[in-house]
Amino acid sequence: MRPKKGQDVATRLTQLLNSPLFDAVRAEQPQSVNKVIPIFGDVTEPELGISPSDQKVLIDNVSVVFHSAATVKFDEALKLSVTINMLGTKQLVALCHRMMSLEALVHVSTAYCNCDREQVNEIIYPPPYDPEKIIQCMDWMDEELVNVITPHLIGKRPNTYTFTKALAEHMLLKESGNLPVAIVRPSIVLSAYREPLRGWVDGWNGPTGVIAAAGKGIFRTMLCNGSMVADLVPVDLVINLLVCVAWHTATTRPDGIKVYNCTTGMQRPITWKDFVGNCFNYFHKHPLRDTIWYPDGTCSTNWLLNMVGETIMHIIPAYTMDGVSKMCGQKAYMVRTHEKLKKAAECLEYFSTHQWQFTNTNVVALQDRLCIEDRREFSFDVKEIQWQSYIENYVLGIRHFIFKDPPDTLCAARKNLQWLYLLHRCVQVLGVVLAWRLVMLRSSTARSVWLSLLGVLLRFARMVPTHI
């Protein structure tokens, strides 16, 4: 753990353990939180930034390691991404080799590290480059040169994140030697399904930032193929799988590195259309307190239509609202917010317009090895997911944990949404009328077609008998 925003590691740990995430633990076993000992470190530093004395503590006492430290920014600069995702992994493995009682090292990768393949099996694929040479290149190249060659290096992969995570897996294969190592590859991780709290979510990563903005009514269109599978997985199912993988690795010591694809697309698929549609439905049922516009939107596979939609539904309203805010002496923020949302949506577009088949034979086999009690306690069976209730809790989680909206604000939020709905429909009707009027004024052909249609309707009306 490293200091952040002026807080040292002890303060950050205390803040974390006092969060709602650990309410149940503090209630049932209040002394258990005292067992957590923070270690100062930074994966961007030599030897992970861990002091010699702390290294000795780890070497003498640690038996299970979960390696989840990574930069998850899809558009991270390649140099920093290599430092964190690859060099950080290499240094951690070196530390693990010194641990006297190591039973399992579980590396958290991503299902999309091999997104240049349509079918991704539970194996480590050959890397596009030697990971060691990539690290060496980052050492002597300056940032500007690295940025220039980045598109060529990552090839068919959409970003530096998937590229470096793929190389990190192969580096793990080379560096681990006889260590008991396993790799878990989650797909798109969302809120908790059951534990510690239904719908628990605390970050804006992945689709959550875009979905939250859609709930506010300020994000309404993005490139997305609604018919394709959205491979979403609840965070608590991922954690349960990690625990079980560590147990299995420690007790069986399998030959080589076992890979586990933690995904839902093969066993419990949901399309992007259904996911987004259900999110909107539940934002209508459980609206946010300060909703700016009526939550609604579309998924488009046509970049031109999406660009037109962005202009009409994002850019023009953002500049209009900022203009009004400035005239009223208030802070303008909508244009800046839109730019951030556009960047986030662009990072997601590749994953919402493509589809993969992730095999999960090892995950299913591990589940079969568990006794009934352990299956219940450490459930990671994605076939149990009920998407309707899960998405409703996801929306409620965004409302409660992201926006901090108390339950007693729901009634007022619903009344506000009713007015926004009426305003939304009025604006739509006005837009259609203005568009029709503009076409009539500018196009003689359109006027002729309209007059001809009116003539046909009038002649048809005269033919209808007025009495029986």
pLDDT at 2: 83
DSSP state of 331: P
pLDDT at 466: 57
For residue 203, the Cα-to-chain-centroid distance in whole angstroms is 9
351 vs 134: CA distance, rounded Å? 25
pLDDT at 467: 55
Q: At 140, is the secondary structure helix, strand, or coil?
A: helix
47 vs 27: CA distance, rounded Å? 37
For residue 287, the Cα-to-chain-centroid distance in whole angstroms is 21
Q: At 104, is the secondary structure helix, strand, or coil?
A: strand
Q: Phi/psi at 215 (nearest 5 deg)?
A: -65, -30
Residue entry with tokens 């299913």: 364
Q: How far apart are the first and last CA of the chain?
A: 86
pLDDT at 362: 96
Please state which of the four CATH numbers 3.10.129.10, 2.60.40.420, 3.40.50.720, 3.40.50.12280 is assigned to the domain occupying 9-215+226-285+356-405. Answer: 3.40.50.720
**pLDDT string in tens for the chain (468-residue length):** 888 877 888 888 888 888 888 888 888 888 888 888 889 999 989 999 999 999 999 999 999 999 998 887 888 899 999 999 999 999 999 999 999 899 999 999 999 999 999 999 999 999 889 999 999 999 888 888 989 999 999 998 999 999 999 999 999 999 998 999 999 999 999 999 998 899 999 888 889 999 999 999 999 999 999 999 999 999 999 999 999 999 999 999 988 899 999 999 999 999 999 999 999 999 999 999 999 999 998 888 988 998 988 898 889 889 988 898 888 888 888 899 999 999 999 989 999 999 999 999 999 999 999 999 999 999 999 999 999 999 999 999 999 999 999 999 999 999 999 999 999 989 888 888 887 777 777 777 767 776 777 777 777 766 766 554
pLDDT at 243: 97
pLDDT at 450: 67
Q: At 168, is the secondary structure helix, strand, or coil?
A: helix
Taking the domains of the chain in order of start, what are their residue ranges? 9-215+226-285+356-405
412 vs 289: CA distance, rounded Å? 7
Neighbours of 139 (CB within 10 A): 10
pLDDT at 465: 65
pLDDT at 349: 92
pLDDT at 210: 93
pLDDT at 203: 82
